[in-house]
Amino acid sequence: MTEKFPMPKMPAMPEVPEGIWGFRDAVDKAGVEGGAETAVKREVGEANKAGEASVTAVEVGEANKAGEASVTAVEVGETEIAATLLGGLRIGLGYDVHALVEGRKLILGGVNIPHAKGLDGHSDADVLAHAVADALLGASRAGDIGKLFPDTDPTYAGADSLVLLGHVAALVREEGFEIMDVDCVIAAQNPKLSPYRDAMRANLSKVLALSIDSVGIKATTTEHLGFVGREEGISAQAVCLLCRCSC
């Protein structure tokens, strides 16, 4: 295996002075195999700031031949800013499923989509909005949508999930986070969702106060496999990026 798929040549890692967060004295050169004159300089300006942010800030001085050396090099002007930025980033993942039943509207991303069946649930069962809400709540460590809006509470019976999502976005911002980006995928065998994608993006963009360019929505079938493929339900997944920083 190793002969057939050899590992790329990597620069030898420099020795790090004692104290993992104190390598202020940095590293002048990374030894390079293969003759490439790659000199990746790692320098942490205020070393302990990186420690506070649990992040290593890497400054690349000259000869950024990271590509050749199969090394990811990040050039930052102010290491402190980099530490703050990276330390303030959070990702979140949300997943939700609702059953398809007769006699209900099919609401996805706030769009009422004509279909013989709709999603069952305590609220309007907007599985996409719920997945996005859980992604945001996960990233901000603020619990989950079931905790905030229990399906045993009559207050939320028939609720517009976009309104609930708006509350979640406000909560996340109250915690000091800015919402940077959201991407989603809906799994539905039927109906075809692409005609409604832009309307769903517009709705999410509006309720999240995000540029529409920062909201991605994709749709897929499951090739007739599983509960989605049997048209028993629809699922949605969402990821989001939050930043609690002065960027």
Output the six-digit token pair for 92.
Answer: 């979140």
The rounded distance, in Å, linking the Cα atoms of 80 and 84 is 6
The least distance separating Mg ion from the CB of residue 21, rounded to whole angstroms, comes to: 42
The least distance separating Mg ion from the CB of residue 219, rounded to whole angstroms, comes to: 18
The rounded distance, in Å, linking the Cα atoms of 111 and 193 is 10
The least distance separating Mg ion from the CB of residue 102, rounded to whole angstroms, comes to: 19
DSSP state of 62: S
Q: Which lies closer to Mg ion via its Cβ, residue 58 or residue 129? A: 129
Q: Which lies closer to Mg ion via its Cβ, residue 59 or residue 96? A: 96
The least distance separating Mg ion from the CB of residue 226, rounded to whole angstroms, comes to: 18
Give me the residues paired with residue 233 across strands.
99
According to CB under 5 A, which residues from 205 to 244 bind Mg ion? none
Nearest residue to Mg ion by CB is 130
Which residue do the tokens 């997943």 mark? 95
Q: Which lies closer to Mg ion via its Cβ, residue 42 or residue 130? A: 130
Task: State the amino acid at position 22 in one-letter form.
Answer: G
Q: What is the separation of C-alpha 192 from the centre of its chain, rounded to a whole number of angstroms?
A: 25
Q: Which lies closer to Mg ion via its Cβ, residue 117 or residue 130? A: 130
Give the x/- contact pattern for Mg ion in 73-112, rule: CB under 5 A.
-----------------------x----------------
126 makes contact with Mg ion (CB under 5 A): no
The rounded distance, in Å, linking the Cα atoms of 164 and 155 is 11
Q: Which lies closer to Mg ion via its Cβ, residue 21 or residue 227? A: 227
CB neighbourhood size of 160 (10 A): 16
Greatest extent of the chain over all pairs of C-alpha atoms, in Å: 70
Pick the stretch among 50-58, 129-137, 191-199, 228-236 that binds Mg ion (CB under 5 A). Answer: 129-137
130 makes contact with Mg ion (CB under 5 A): yes
Q: Is the dihedral of CA 122, 128, 132, 138 positive or negative?
A: positive
Site residues, Mg ion (CB under 5 A): 96, 130
